[in-house]
Amino acid sequence: MGTPCSILVINVGSTSTKVAVYDDTVPRLTETLTYVADDLAQHATLRDQLPRREQDLTNFLQRYDIDPASFDIVISRGGLGRPGPAGAYEINEIMCEDLLTGKYGIHPSALGPAMALNLTRTRHIPAIVMDPPSTDEFEPIARFSGIPDIKRKSAFHALNQKAAARRTASDIGTPYEKLNLIVAHLGGGITIGAHRQGRVVDCTHGLTEGPFTPERAGTLPSLDLVGLALSGIFDQGQLQTRLVGRGGLAAYTGTTDAQQIEAMINKGDEHARMVYRAMAYQIAKDIGAMAAVLTGQTDAIVLTGGLAHSAMLTAWVNERIHFIAPIYIYPGEDEMLSMAEGAVRVLQGKEPTMQYG
């Protein structure tokens, strides 16, 4: 066996930067650099946060006496960039500019690729993203919404959905590219995708469609939503927060914590039980819809994400969908490992890198 590849993994979130050093797919160092939200809010733009985030990354490397030139590859979580097929993308200036200016949407994950590029540009080390959230493999028929003014868009937990799909394929013993799978990422956001032979041909939108989630409203009756928007009760910002941030379980129960809701249910709270069961009902309903997308030819259903830890929730989902296909459950979402695995595939020549833009 040869010397393992040294991989730096960067995952920027709203109030943290997760950093890890992997030897192939074995973690050598992991650390979460945390921030106070109010402190970061002092920066007017994402770009203004970049020097601080980069300095903290530099401090991490110096703390463990790691020479950045020792890495074989640097991989960052992707941002909301130009829609395109899943896979590995070489980080370039065009990508970073699109992400930092919010051309396709604003999210702190935009900082990661810029950090990776700035670290590697003079060291001749490849820097990539893998399966970014702007992954778009929709079939044309999936883009119709119901009115020409609005086109359905692809925005989902591509990194974790793809990783869980590959894990399922490995467990089944069949290449991912030869399977039809329905993958449900269950977390603070919920997305349910139809994977046809390696491509996500349809999926619920992570912010505006699908089941309600711990913090998001999901699909809503459209005319009622128009009425609420024009009622004068909420301004635009307040309404957006009610839909994404304080919708779903938070709106019905006052908490986004599934464990707390389960504790309420176990103490006899029937309202909490009905709400939690309704979320499972909506998850199952959208899984059924994706079975129709795959014309019933479904090899497996995959439940992943943080909420897949909930035996109560997955049992309620299972009782409605078990007739469709075998169910595989992979709780949690190990984005860092998923990125390390992708970096190894690239270094081994098993997955090509694409040019962004």
Tell me the average pLDDT across 73-90: 94
Mean pLDDT of the chain: 93
Mean pLDDT value across residues 157-183:
95
- What gap in Å lies between CA 326 and CA 333, rounded to an integer? 21
pLDDT of residue 335: 87
**Stretch among 12-16, 233-237, 285-289 having the lowest mean pLDDT:** 12-16
Mean pLDDT of 262-274: 97
pLDDT digit string, tens, across residues 208-221: 999 999 999 999 99
* pLDDT of residue 156 exceeding 60: yes
Comparing 31-40, 120-129, 320-329, the range with the smallest average pLDDT is: 31-40
Mean pLDDT of 13-28: 91
pLDDT at residue 1 in the model: 53
pLDDT at 36 over 70: no
Say which range, 61-65, 224-228, 241-245, has the weakest mean pLDDT: 241-245
* pTM metric for this prediction: 0.86
Give 111-114's long-range contacts (Cβ < 8 A, gap of 24+).
111/12, 111/17, 111/46, 111/49, 111/50, 111/53, 111/79, 112/10, 112/11, 112/12, 112/17, 112/76, 112/77, 112/78, 112/79, 113/76, 113/78, 113/79, 114/50
Section 83-101 average pLDDT? 95
* pLDDT of amino acid 38: 63
Q: Quick check: helix, strand or coil at residue 63?
A: helix
- More confident of the two residues 15 and 167: 167
- As a dihedral over the C-alpha atoms of residue 166, residue 171, residue 175, residue 181, rounded to 10 degrees, the angle is -60
pLDDT tens, residue by residue, 291-319:
999 999 999 999 999 999 999 999 999 99
Taking the C-alpha atoms of residue 30 and residue 28, their distance in angstroms, rounded to an integer, is 7
Contact criterion met (CB below 8 Å) for 351 and 88: yes
DSSP symbol at 271: H
Task: Give all domains of the chain, ordered by start, each with its CATH number.
Answer: 6-137+335-355 (3.30.420.40), 158-331 (3.30.420.40)
Total Cβ atoms within 10 A of residue 297: 9
For residues 79-107, give the mean pLDDT: 92
- Looking at residues 48-55, what average pLDDT do you find? 92
